[in-house]
Chains A and B, each alone.
Chain A
Amino acid sequence: MLNVRDLERRWLRYKIKSYLPHAVIVASLVIISASLYIYSSSASPKSKQADAAQTPHSVHVKQKTASAPQEPEALPARQLTQQAPQQPKKPLHVKQSHSTPVETTALEEKQTSSKPVVLKPSMDFIKKMRSASGEYYMSEIEPPKEVVLDAPVRKKPKKKTVQKTKKTQVIPEPSLAKKKIVIQRDTTLQDLKDVERRFQKSNKPALSLFLAKQYYMLGDYKKAYNFALLTNQLDKKNETSWLIFSKSLVKMGQRDLAVKTLKEYIKYSHSQNAALLLENIETGKFQ
């Protein structure tokens, strides 16, 4: 015979055990949600309390400033003690209220003044270094435009042309104490003719390129074209001579030929500078 009661008890225990994990999960969820609810509900009333506490404090301050002998009888002792730790907040609060109009005016000023500030460096340390180095570094080396060598030996009179681009002056050495080395570039026609003679003897493309550049700068586009052409014949890979060649053609009115030359050069060399010049010629930027 089976013991039914015992079996029923055992079955009951088994059932409870089977439901136990579910119950644990549900209970934990309930606890978590309850705690969250309690936390959130406790945070909002605290902030309300803080606002409520501050307003009577500010009122309290105003009352104090208005009439000193008045005692804060309305505020109970507990609130006063609570306000004590809040006192440090007061200066911050006051400061913020005062700072906003200043900030707005500063912003307005910034907006109106749209010019960027230009920062410039200070090079005084180089002067100090020069003075510290002593006699070794007496002479001042000036930038290449104004750098001048001592006067040349030749005594030929220099004819100043109308189309001078740079002034030529020979500065004699004033004294032994102040030795200044002054180099000046001479771009008169006489010197260019000297360079031409040197080119005729040596046939160096660097000299012809120099002549092409100088004549181009002086406005003699025909000579610039000639020397650029000679340079191209001597050195086909020289990009500068091709550019001067094309620009001289444009200046002489032969724009189509210049464009054609540039296009052929670009096909051969894929030069970006030539492409840029071609674009400028075609758009009319360079005339």
Chain B
Amino acid sequence: MKTILLLVLTLNLYSADIKQAMLNFYENKRYENACNLGFNSFKKYKKDEEFLSLYAFSCLKADYIDRLALPIARLKFSEEARANSAYFSVIFMQKKLLYHALLDEYDLSRFTLPTTDYILSTVFDLYSKLGKHKRRTLYLFDDPTNEKISYKLYLQKEYKVAKMVIEEYYDTMLIKRHIYW
């Protein structure tokens, strides 16, 4: 009996420790670490909505958009969870549509979709405004809200898969590179 109690306590402590560790990583902007930690311990805490939300935001900030699929499906039992699930699903859909458009010249101008404050949404909106056009190797967009911020969109073709790259510039200085596939 004592051993069982000890096991339960250590497991609970371990679980709290993982969430705390993820939160620490997230607060310190180490999103990739938080996302990987959540990915490794997903099976154990898949019913915990706080864990799912934190995991999803960490992966979003680390540009692992495909990892949002499971949290999108599982976040449904509270209003906040449903709102976040809708938010992630929009980004996920926009990423897939943009990838399809870049590779297959799919016309995105027909759609009127919700948008978000995430960079992929901004680039998606700017790309869809171009309408039907010939495929280009490189796209340059200026941020409509800030003149100094610009975006560069192109495909990086590798051996098995083509990767979609979005580069964020502040006054021609590269701030961050986002890679999606």
A→B interface (CB under 8 Å): 110, 114, 116-126, 128-130, 133, 136-137, 141, 240, 243, 247, 273, 276-277, 280, 286
Chain B interface: which size bin? 20 to 34
Q: Which 7 A-B pairs have the closest CB atoms?
A: A117-B114, A122-B80, A116-B115, A121-B87, A125-B53, A119-B87, A125-B50
Residues in A whose Cβ lies below 8 Å from that of B16: 133
Contacts A129-B54, A243-B173, A280-B172; is A116 near B112 (CB within 8 Å)? yes
Main secondary structure of the interface of A (DSSP, over half): helix
Residues from chain B with Cβ under 8 Å of A141 in the complex: 27-28
The answer to whether the Cβ of B117 comes within 8 Å of any Cβ in the partner chain is: yes
Contact of A119 among B23, B53, B114, B140 (CB under 8 A): B114
CB-based contact B23/A137 at 8 Å: yes
CB <8 Å contact, A120 and B87 = yes
The answer to whether B57 touches A276 (Cβ under 8 A) is no
Residues of A near B50 (CB, < 8 A) are 125, 128-129
Closest partner residue, chain A, to B83 (CB atom): A122
Measured in the bound complex, the distance between the Cα atoms of B115 and A128 in whole Å is 27
Any A CB within 8 A of the CB of B33: no
* 23 A-B pairs (CB sep. < 8 Å): A110-B112, A116-B112, A116-B114, A117-B114, A118-B117, A119-B83, A119-B86, A119-B90, A120-B116, A121-B84, A125-B50, A125-B53, A125-B54, A125-B80, A126-B26, A133-B16, A133-B20, A136-B20, A137-B20, A273-B174, A276-B140, A277-B172, A280-B172
CA A79 to CA B47, docked complex, whole Å: 59
Closest Cβ–Cβ distance, residue B64 to chain A (whole Å): 16
**Does residue B49 face the partner (Cβ distance < 8 Å to A)?**
yes
Closest B residue to A279 by beta carbon equals B140
